[in-house]
Homo-oligomer: A and B are copies of this chain.
Amino acid sequence: MDFLSSLLNGVAERGRALIGLDAVPGSSARSTEGLCRDLLSGRGQASGIALAQAILADWERLDAPGRQAFFKMLQHQFGADQAHCARAIDAYRERPDLANTAALHRASQPRIQELLQRLNLAPGGTLLLVRMREALFEAMKGDRELEELDSAFKYLFASWFNRGFLTMERIDWRSPANVLEKIIRYEAVHEIDGWEDLRRRLEPADRRCFAFFHPQLVDEPLIFVEVALTVDIPSRIDSLLSADRSVLPPSAAKTAVFYSISNCQEGLRGVSFGNFLIKAVAENLKHELPGLETFVTLSPLPGFARWLQSLDTGSDCIQLSAEDQADLLSLNVARYRGNQGGKSRRNDLLARLAAYYLVGARSDTGTIIDPVARFHLGNGARLERINVDANRSERGLSESYGVMVNYLYDLYGIETNHEAFAERNEVIASSHVNKLVRTMKSSRPRPSSTRRERASVL
């Protein structure tokens, strides 16, 4: 294949000479904006690929201020046609039927969308446009107005990267090195320390990794999940990542643990696939290993420590005993390290607080606070277990005092769980977790009270 692809590159190079910009009268001296106009015009019909290539080549040469200028140009020169839009509004006002609605929809479409479609004609265009959106995020930091431009990107990418067009592939030690190096690079939850560490996650018979790919981005995973096959639901990340653990024969596995899910393409932010990936992986594994009974995560609580530090223990939603309050303070004083063997009282407190954080606490806008929890609960998973002393890495301690949780994917319950969460803002949890929550003695965990939680006690 490699031989072929290098040949095709040769074709492309020859192509640039043959029907390239040189052959488009006057084009080689055009500004990027001019080329964009050409691409949208009739001229794009005859030499669209050459124009798209030329524009993207121009783009790649720009520095940060150049890109900022490019984006402003797109925003101001390739928005909707205002006059056209005004006429469509008049027609719609006169008769708001379907035809006129549709006409209004078309009239109000920013021309940037059509331009992006045509830029995608260039070989490798899709990846460059994804990278372009990454640069747009940078530019947006200093210019919120550009968010409108971003909506055109996001709108189109949601269509292009529709789940129906993605393929799920297993990643293992036989995968291409240029894909594997991206697994190392993009792993966002538990850092991979080089190729030997990667091998430990991919090669053993009780490890799996799956990713979504788009046909146009062959070497670029969109999202991937790492899975460990185990007997029981694990309570510590060490037991999964340790270099000297013994390998379980897959046929003996009862549990599949999703211990890391990482998005790879910052430029696809807001286009979500995680939900689909977990379910597709679960089905795939169930087919391969019918003995699997439990599908579960071992997940971080990235917002727990921050929430805890800003907690107003005097609020009416959490009632802590004097002893607990002392422990909480000592936890702080010990600068996270204090959570060691034998400190069972403090561990109990952490478990209870984590349970309350996930089940009872709400943000100002009434949502669950923890982003990982929102993701899994939104997928219909159930909050299964709180594990204290589960992650003693620097990051695990600083983000969540070492606490991790298991979310359980019970394929028969996800719809009901999802509805409870989506419609009634209710967290479905195991009785173990619910019991922990009740120990917090909060009479009514209610969103309206969350505002007060903000006042920090620690």
Interface residues of A (CB under 8 A from B): 1-4, 6-7, 10-11, 14-15, 18-19, 23-25, 42-43, 45-49, 75-76, 79-80, 82, 85-86, 89, 92-93, 96, 98-99, 101-102, 104-106, 108-110, 117, 120-122, 125-126, 145, 148-149, 151-152, 155-156, 158-160, 162-165, 167, 170, 172-178, 180, 194-195, 199, 215-216, 219, 275-276, 279, 283-284, 286-288, 378-380, 411-412, 414-419, 422-423
Say yes or no: A19 contacts B120, CB within 8 Å: no
Separation of A219 and B23 alpha carbons in the complex (Å): 36
The CB with the most chain B CB atoms within 10 A, among A15, A75, A86, A288, is that of A15
Number of copies: 4
Quick check: B3 and A288 within 8 Å, CB to CB?
yes
Contacts of A419 in B (CB 8 A): 25, 42-43, 46
Question: Nearest-CB distance from A136 to chain B (Å)?
Answer: 14
Q: List chain B residues, Cβ under 8 A from A80.
A: 101-102, 105
**Closest beta carbon of chain B to A21's beta carbon, Å:** 10
Query: Please, which residue of chain B has its CB at the minimum distance from the CB of A170?
Result: B2
Which residue in B3, B79, B92 is a CB contact (below 8 Å) of A89? B92
The 10 residue pairs across chains A and B that have the minimum distance between CB atoms: A46-B418, A215-B215, A120-B164, A105-B108, A42-B422, A104-B108, A46-B380, A174-B176, A80-B101, A159-B159
- The answer to whether B85 and A101 touch across the interface, beta carbons within 8 angstroms, is yes
Within the assembled complex, what's the spacing in Å between the Cα atoms of A23 and B409?
A: 14
A76 to B98, CA, bound (A): 8
Contacts of A7 in B (CB 8 A): 7, 287-288
* Assembled-state Cα–Cα distance A23/B173 (Å): 35
Contact B125 A219 (CB under 8 A): no
**Does A117 lie within 8 Å of B158, measured CB to CB?**
yes
Question: What CA separation (Å) do A162 and B45 show in the bound complex?
Answer: 13
Q: How far is the CA of A453 from the CA of B170 in the complex (A)?
A: 61
A206 to chain B, nearest CB (A): 12
- Please, which residues of chain B bring their CB within 8 A of the CB of A417? 46
Complex CA distance for A99 and B151, rounded to whole angstroms:
10
- Are B3 and A378 in contact (CB-based, < 8 A)? no
Q: Does A175 contact B172, Cβ atoms closer than 8 Å? A: no
Nearest B residue to A46 via CB reads B418
Chain B residues positioned under 8 Å from A175 (CB to CB)? 2, 176-177
